[in-house]
Structure 1
Amino acid sequence: MPDLSAHDAGTVALVACVVAALALLLAAWALLRLRSTRRQLAVLGAEGGHDVLTLMARQSAQVAEVRAETAAAMAEARRARAEVADSLRHVAVVRYDAFGDMGGRLSFSAALLDDGGDGVVLTSINGRSETRTYAKGVKAGASEHALSPEEEQAVSFARRGEGARR
């Protein structure tokens, strides 16, 4: 092997020093990055000293629990909506004078219907000496018994959600 001249040996030594300096800079940079990463992990893992993976697993379990509770709440809401649809929640009252010689609109027809238009019409006709009360079933907004104009109005108002009327 040929002998290295003093000039070549100096060049090699200079290159080795530059490479060593670059390695020291790279090591210092890596230490700074490691310190920064540890600080960030310490902030993320501050809860009870657990690491990030444990916290993420716990969070994932909590999300799954919330999803299950939400699904149960949605099922309960669907059941409640179905139950409410069958309730008599559409109500309308039509008050009127059944006889020309009486005032005060003491007679009335009241329709109590569910969302499908099924329910009952209650009518009370007040005269001077007596009061008569009638109940007629309603199916899909119609009755198998003849409805008076006031009863038809009450059913119509109830189906439209217009409540008490004159």
Structure 2
Amino acid sequence: MLALVVCSLVVALVAVGFSVVALRRSQGVRRPEAAEALPEDVHGLRREVAALRAEAKDALRHLAVVRYDAFGDMGGHLSWSLALLDDSGHGVVLSSIHGRSESRTYAKNITAWSCDQQLSPEELEAVDHARPGKR
């Protein structure tokens, strides 16, 4: 039985030795096919990043909320204006005006950071805060 254990240990040590030698050789020698595949992968990643950036350009990524009191006799900043815009400044401004007996909601289209309709001061503030670099 002792001979079997000793024999198993010798085989295991030889296997570990071969593994170490093989590992050192593989680290010292670069495989040409791996080196040639790298630039294709880098170019592929660059194309993928460019495609993702182009796709994200149209996403409504820039937003800002302005809360305020629409009427002097009401407090609590229950009215609000929300600007949702993409990188080019296209999107929408949503406003909810809260009064004592009713609430009204408005939506106005924004194109290139401006609107064809007149914006309230709070809506203008929301668009301005949503604009990148203006925070």
1: distance between equivalents of 2:25 and 2:52? 43
Aligned partner of 1:157 in structure 2 is 129
Amino acid at match of 2:107: A
* Matched positions, count: 112
Pair 1:64-2:64 in alignment? no
Deviation at 1:142, TM superposition (A): 0.3
1:90 and 1:161 in contact (8 A); partners too: no
1: distance between equivalents of 2:67 and 2:133? 17
TM-score, reference length from structure 2: 0.75
The secondary structure found in structure 1 opposite 2:131 is: helix
**Which one of the candidate residues 113, 119, 124 is aligned to 2:96?**
124
Aligned partner of 2:54 in structure 1 is 82
What pairs up with 1:1-166 in 2 under 5 angstroms? Answer: 46-47=25-26, 59-160=31-132
- Calculate percent identity across the aligned residue pairs: 50
1: distance between equivalents of 2:25 and 2:117? 75
- Unaligned 5+ runs, structure 2: 1-21
The secondary structure found in structure 2 opposite 1:135 is: strand
Deviation at 1:83, TM superposition (A): 1.0
The secondary structure found in structure 2 opposite 1:95 is: strand
Aligned partner of 1:26 in structure 2 is none
Q: Which has the higher strand share?
A: 2
Amino acid at match of 2:33: A
| Large movers: runs of 4+ above 6 Å | none
Larger radius of gyration, structure 1 or 2? 1
Q: Which has the higher helix share?
A: 1
Aligned partner of 1:11 in structure 2 is none
TM-score, reference length from structure 1: 0.62
1: distance between equivalents of 2:85 and 2:42? 32
